[in-house]
Amino acid sequence: MCGVFGIYGHPEAANITYLGLHALQHRGQEAAGIVTSDGERLTPHRSMGLVQAGFSPKDLAALRGDRAIGHVRYSTAGGSHIRNAQPFAVDYARGSIAVGHNGNLTNYEALRDRLEARGSIFQSASDTEVIVHLIAASTQASVESRAAEALGQVEGAYSILFLTERELIAVRDPMGFRPLCMGRLTHGEAEAIVVASEPTAFDLIGATYVRDIEPGEMLIVDANGTRSLRPFAPRARKLCIFEHVYFARPDSLIEGASVYEVRKALGRKLAEESPVPGGSDAGDVVVVPVPDSGVPAAVGFAERAGAPFEMGLIRSHYVGRTFIEPQQSIRHFGVRLKLSPNRAALANKRVVIVDDSIVRGTTSRKIVKMVRDAGAREVHLRISSPPTRWPCFYGIDTPTRAELIAATHNLEEICKYVTADSLGYLSLEGLVTSVRTIERRASPDAPASPRSGEASEDGYCSACFSGAYPVPFSPSPKSRHLRLVHG
């Protein structure tokens, strides 16, 4: 998971892009980059770490031009190197081009092998670089045609931005796995076009959200204005449903639907499907979120259960990556750096902990113990998504199946491992129904909710829960990009 931002037609394009990336920081914390254009040349700056740390006033002043694209990269296992930071900016026979990509290409290895056999030399381990080489090899006349030809050869997920000396191009893959939206920013009597992974980036810079870029759409912005092309064969929409569960910021809109309202709806549905054992009206039950991602679902759960919502876990907002831990004897160090128990809210209570997901189970186990050590009489764990049983091949760094606890353990075994008194997950039907309900409020044209007893995933990718992959992929020993360096 990464974040992309672009702007065309603003004299402070670099500064605006910096702010836009700051608003998208939740989508990637490993590296950040900005490339600007002044109409004649591209100027790049990339750095490791957070946006704020990687761009000084001097760096931003050197990024001249009224158009720019930026990228924040998700922290992945083993691919942490400046050469993999985006946007990539290259010179080739037709000029210069920069690329920033959110997603993952499932046929990356086959394409890279083919290109290397033809003599292409790769500078990074990123699947995104394949697109650069395909564009350079294209004989099409216009940059949008070269981009369309290149993207026509790739498979998988991409919400991608291209910047040349003259154009800004935004493209979303035909299945719409990852979000991408367009806005307008007024400055004086002029107006700039902005694009971003989420509209929260528009809120920070004072831009107005206009619409989502549709699956399969190519938006071109140049001196003549904006125009839209549809160069790919239409496909069924497969928006990543986990964007609503966890990835997007709660104050975002994903295809018009409020992420905050979706997450509250997930919590309400979870309370219906997995109520508190012994009832929640005895006066000793509190609903506690795992902050920050579990907060809206916990609000919805408490609402439906009729139990008080309490901030029983306090999150530190000053924790970066932990490179050095003291000796092994200090248990739970990593979790305790991020979360502290609020004993006043937990002592002598039956505590319902609400979180968005369980991956390996190790963090959940530590949180349950932390809450119990703070005096809770009972600890019940509730998860506002179904069990994560399958890895994601479309841009998320999830573990192999062997590392996913729900792939190898049943509900009782997971509950025993995390040491909870009870464990409940939201059903896939409950997840889809809740998301669709909020989507339909935002757009009457959204897909209808499934009938009771169905878990129809039409319109969404939920492969991490179901194993039903919209784009087939067969992992191989060479699968560098799945765990290491996806865009």
- What residue numbers does the annotated binding site for [4Fe-4S] cluster cover? 240, 392, 461, 464
Q: Which two tokens stand for residue 71?
A: 């990228």
What is the C-alpha to C-alpha distance for residues 14 and 54, in angstroms, rounded to an integer? 13
| Cα–Cα distance measured from residue 132 to residue 115, given in angstroms and rounded to the nearest whole number | 11
Among this protein's residues, is 2 annotated catalytic?
yes
CB neighbourhood size of 324 (10 A): 4
- Which residues are part of a known binding site? 240, 293, 355-356, 392, 461, 464
CA 167, CA 69: separation in Å to the nearest integer? 11
Q: How far is CA 48 from the centre of its chain?
A: 19
User: What three-state secondary structure class fits 346?
Assistant: helix
Tell me which of 2, 85, 290, 415 is the catalytic residue.
2
Return d(Cα 67, Cα 393) in angstroms, integer: 32
How many beta carbons lie within 10 A of that of residue 119, not counting itself? 6
Residues 2, 153: Cα–Cα separation, whole Å: 22
Judged by phi (left if over 0) then psi (alpha if -120 to 50, else beta), residue 364 lies in alpha
Classified as helix, coil or strand, 5 is: strand
Coil, strand, or helix at residue 465?
helix
Bond from prior residue into 292 cis (ω within 30 degrees of 0): yes
Task: Give the residue carrying structure tokens 């924040």.
Answer: 72
- Measure the CA–CA gap between 80 and 62, rounded to whole angstroms: 25
Q: Is the Cβ–Cβ distance between 157 and 173 less than 8 Å?
A: yes
Give the annotated binding-site residues for Mg(2+): 293, 355-356
For 309, the token pair is: 């919502």
DSSP conformational letter for 455: -
Helix (H, G, I), strand (E, B) or coil at 73: strand
CA distance 36 to 13: 7
Beta carbons of 388 and 398 less than 8 angstroms apart: yes
CB of 125 within 8 A of CB of 140?
A: no
Q: Which residues carry out catalysis?
A: 2
